[in-house]
Chains A and B, each alone.
Chain A
Amino acid sequence: MSELPGDLLYTKDHEWLRREDDGTVTVGITDHAATSLGDLVYVELPEVGQEVESDGEMAVVESVKAASDVYAPIAGTVVAVNEDLADDPEKINSEPYGEGWIVRLTPTDDIDESVLMSPDAYQQILDELDD
């Protein structure tokens, strides 16, 4: 298993968040999630401007095997979606923390980092899954 990027926060649903300098938050799914799903073949993205609730369904990623919901890790407004995924959903498999990003949000409230996980805490969850 590859090393987790240290500048991201993680969720128990195997998603990641990056706090951008402009105050927005970029969201994607982790390498573990992408690998578990298998080759991604379709991503259903929200509309820009759509408001999402924390833990609400935000996008759907579909692999050759199954469909899986992507939940909003925080409440916010969608300010950008990764349109490139329409033609190349496998970017989520190849670069889950880079060009495989899914949605960018403007948070509704201050981000409560206590409900999110540090790379170390998330790594611990992954280690337990392997046991």
Chain B
Amino acid sequence: MGLRTPLYDKHVAADARIVDFGGWDMPLHYGSQKEEHHAVRQNAGVFDVSHMTIVDLSGDKVREFLQQLVANDVARLKDYGKALYTCMLNPTGGVIDDLIIYFVADTQYRLIVNAATREKDLAWITERAVPFDVKVDERGELAMIAVQGPNARELAAPCIDAGWRDAALALKPFNGLQAGDIFVARTGYTGEDGWEIVLPAANAAATWDRLLGAGVAPCGLGARDTLRLEAAMNLYGSDMDESVSPLEAGLAWTVAWEPADRDFIGRQPMEKIRNSADKQRFVGLLLEDRGVLRNHQKVVVDGVGEGEITSGGFSPTLGRSIALARVPAGDYDRAQVEVRGKLLAVRIVKTPFVRNGKILIDV
């Protein structure tokens, strides 16, 4: 038996197929992963993401600490509640984890890190926090749900206390606010509008029921993966890990080089490849043939070299197979992928594949 979220009994009652995910017993789907996927693109779906690790940091020097700890710059967070996506790097520039940081108060930030990397993340953060006298407080008692889709905010609004509802609905993308005993942010991992809601575990089941009662579809980790792949959002452990820097994982936009004297962990080794023309490319692939691209399949670029699919799968929105891949430097827009001994034609496309319900590539 694995770890269980406060919503585990709800998943079982809804006939979810339960799988192990980073030590947690989590729902893969509740019958049809494709239908859950479409529900999020077309209406609204809700995901239990309580397995993710919530860490509150506090102290007078917490900002200085984060400016050293992560590759993006928390100085970009001007307003309370604003969120920042970033990577936390090791001294060689490899990605320890990707995370979201919320600016809660001048001396307080909230981090949301991955479940599968919880232990190493906490150990790393705690050790690095000591010289800054920053308190590291894991909030295991909190649950988290993501309600996503074009109608998600409207359908979820009744779950917010009336006194906070208008303010929550007025949140701009990548902003959050503490609304009574819940924290609501206009963020997500699907490429759709919606909220991520952090709430006391004791309230999770009632909120879940209320959302389902409003017509929001319960969605499992399977749909979460196909949705994030279409939105070309990276998955830690697949698209990047400690052996690769953000620059070769499509995450250069999350690295803040200015101010030049901000010496964040991992900066020096990345400076060396920063402007190199030899960097591997991180691209989207569209399979032109029938079939399904999968993680770790070999990408062959004639006359250039070989790369690898880091995330591959079937896109329910496109009805085609898509992938994210790390491929050799060079100017080309076609390649082949080796699938069971055969080479299948793929086109390199600009990502994301799908955003806000719309297909953004030529199919």
Q: Cβ of A42 and Cβ of B292 under 8 Å apart?
A: yes
Among B26-34, B193-201, B300-308, the one that faces the other chain is B26-34
Q: Cβ of B291 and Cβ of A64 under 8 Å apart?
A: no
Q: For the complex, give the distance between the alpha carbons of A42 and B17 in Å.
A: 21
Number of interface residues of A (CB under 8 A): 12
Q: Tell me the minimal C-beta distance from B124 to chain A in angstroms.
A: 32
Q: For the complex, give the distance between the alpha carbons of A64 and B340 in Å.
A: 17
Q: Tell me the minimal C-beta distance from A84 to chain B in angstroms.
A: 14
Q: Cβ of B33 and Cβ of A65 under 8 Å apart?
A: yes
Q: Which residue of A lies closest to B29 (CB)?
A: A38
Q: Which residue of A lies closest to B290 (CB)?
A: A42
Chain B residues, CB < 8 A from A67? 292, 294
Q: Which residues between 32 and 77 of chain A lie within 8 Å of chain B, taking CB atoms?
A: 38-39, 41-42, 44, 60, 62, 64-67
* B188 interface residue per 8 A CB criterion: no
* A111 interface residue per 8 A CB criterion: no
Q: Tell me the minimal C-beta distance from A2 to chain B in angstroms.
A: 14
Chain A residues, CB < 8 A from B59? none
Q: For the complex, give the distance between the alpha carbons of A60 and B33 in Å.
A: 20
Q: Which residues between 214 and 241 of chain B lie within 8 Å of chain A, taking CB atoms?
A: 222, 226
Q: For the complex, give the distance between the alpha carbons of A41 and B29 in Å.
A: 16
Chain B residues, CB < 8 A from A66? 294
**A62's contact among B29, B34, B292, B316, by CB below 8 Å, is which?**
B292
Chain A residues, CB < 8 A from B313? 64
Chain A residues, CB < 8 A from B321? 42
Q: Which residue of B lies closest to A39 (CB)?
A: B34
**A42's contact among B28, B32, B314, by CB below 8 Å, is which?**
B314
**A39's contact among B32, B290, B291, B340, by CB below 8 Å, is which?**
B32
Q: Cβ of A44 and Cβ of B33 under 8 Å apart?
A: no
Q: Cβ of A42 and Cβ of B316 under 8 Å apart?
A: no
Q: Cβ of B291 and Cβ of A44 under 8 Å apart?
A: yes
30 A-B pairs (CB sep. < 8 Å)? A38-B33, A38-B222, A39-B34, A41-B34, A41-B292, A41-B314, A42-B290, A42-B291, A42-B292, A42-B314, A44-B291, A44-B340, A60-B340, A62-B291, A62-B292, A62-B314, A64-B33, A64-B34, A64-B222, A64-B226, A64-B313, A64-B314, A64-B316, A65-B28, A65-B33, A65-B222, A66-B294, A67-B292, A67-B294, A86-B290
Closest 8 CB pairs of A and B: A41-B314, A39-B34, A62-B292, A64-B33, A42-B292, A64-B314, A39-B33, A38-B33
Q: Which residues of B are interface residues toward A (Cβ below 8 A)?
A: 17, 28-29, 32-34, 222, 226, 290-292, 294, 313-314, 316, 321, 340
